[in-house]
Amino acid sequence: MKTATFLAVDFGAGSGRVIAGTLSPEGQLTFKEIHRFSNSPEKRGGLMRWDFARLHSEMRAGLKKAARECDGIVGIGVDTWGVDFGLIGPDGQLVEDPICYRETAWEPMISKLETIVSPEDLYARCGLQPIAINSIYRLMWMAEEGVDFSDKKILFMPDLFNYFLTGVAVNEYTMASTSGLLVAEERNWNHPLMRKAGVPFASLCPVVKPGHNLGPVTPEVARDLGLPETASVIAVGAHDTASAAAVVRFDGDTAFLSSGTWSLLGISLDEPVTTETARLSGYANEGGTEGILFLQNITGMWILQQLMGRWKEQGKTYDFPTLIRMAEEASIDTVFDVDCPEFAAAGDMDTVIREHCRTRGLTVPQTDGETVRALLQSLAARYARALRDLESVTGKAMKKLQIIGGGSRNALLNRLTEEATGLEVVAGPAEATAIGNILTQIKALGYPAPKEIIENF
């Protein structure tokens, strides 16, 4: 076997990267960060939107750089955050920039859908909790706003990037599973629900499984970026959570925690759990690369990111290690509910936390170190509650929690989580999403599984 290189294009809600994974003839998989860029929505026309043209340009810049620096490129895979989508018009171009999931305009659609189908029946079919970010509510709102879908295709974010690389329009399963538009057990579109809700199902594309080979990049892309014409684009676990979870070895008593802007905690199952008990527990069924990810969506490092942004505005530019050291030295017993609605919005998070604690009779943090300590304790307590719910619903006793993603580098949070849950906590890999993306490409293209994975980036 010759040396082969696989490119992971990993878009997060705050930043994006192009990572090269090189598989040697000896079976050693090593990594190199090729390109990194920022990402954030911006208010335009009264709505929060993603700057797709810039993100597409950054992806192309990263792939072009990879073509210069890497030998033997055989595969490309794109993953992004969930739920967001764009419309492709009859001319093959993006109609307008995709709306960001943090927009709130369509929140009333949750109540409207409940008048069409009961929450119990909805969960029994789609397996998701009724959260405003789910794509179904946005599509209902857009239909009410008069958007004409008749000659357009609905493509989720990674599907859009894949489309502009290959010209192939499909909806990858793990992304589609975040929409609220799938039948969980059938893993395909829920046409009866969409008819009732007024969602334009004719504009959706065929659902493909993770690992589906979309074919090579177009000749134009190959020429412009210097990529081999034979480089295949693989529909990986296109939802970043699915790619991240692909690195976890599930053995029946291991749960995973994907720790980033959001915290996703759960296990992998062969089939969805859509019972009323599961619904009331707050668990959802999302697509994984090998099965169903039965998980809870928990507020994660978003709160800390907002705190750091606010403190920077005040002239206090802390790096992450400094904040963790300050939290380790702080002493405060406060634990608050990180999922309270007031923590979901961007803004002066420091003031929001203090006011939240004051109105609930909790000890109010007086220093920045105490604020971070209280936050980390609160996250650990929330993870413990999620695990108790998981064991109750599934009847499975967990022994180990594998924390993956950037948050796995937070040794203090890992220790607090171990204390709160009573489970063995295993940290890493930190770059789980890119690694899982590349592992799916390797399998899809028929290369042998790596004998050794070296997380050297």
Strand 42-44, strand 207-208: pairing: unpaired
Cα separation, 109 vs 198, whole angstroms? 12
Cα separation, 276 vs 296, whole angstroms? 15
> 141-159: b or e for each residue (b if 16 or more CB lie within 10 Å)?
bbbeeeeebeebbbbbbbb
Say how many Å lie between the first and final Cα of the chain, rounded.
24
DSSP string of 163-230? HHHHS---EEHHHHTTTT-EETTTTEE-HHHHHHHT--GGGB--EE-TTEEEEEPPHHHHHHHT--TT
Alpha carbon 235 to its chain centroid, in Å, reads 15
- Whether the Cβ atoms of residue 50 and residue 100 lie closer than 8 Å to each other: yes
Tokens of 422: 């009573």
- Whether the Cβ atoms of residue 255 and residue 398 lie closer than 8 Å to each other: yes
Is 151 a catalytic site residue?
Answer: no
Active-site pick, 10, 240, 368, 389: 240
For residue 346, give Cα distances in angstroms to 21, 310, 350, 367, 392: 35, 10, 11, 21, 34
- Whether the Cβ atoms of residue 364 and residue 393 lie closer than 8 Å to each other: no
Which residues are designated catalytic? Answer: 240
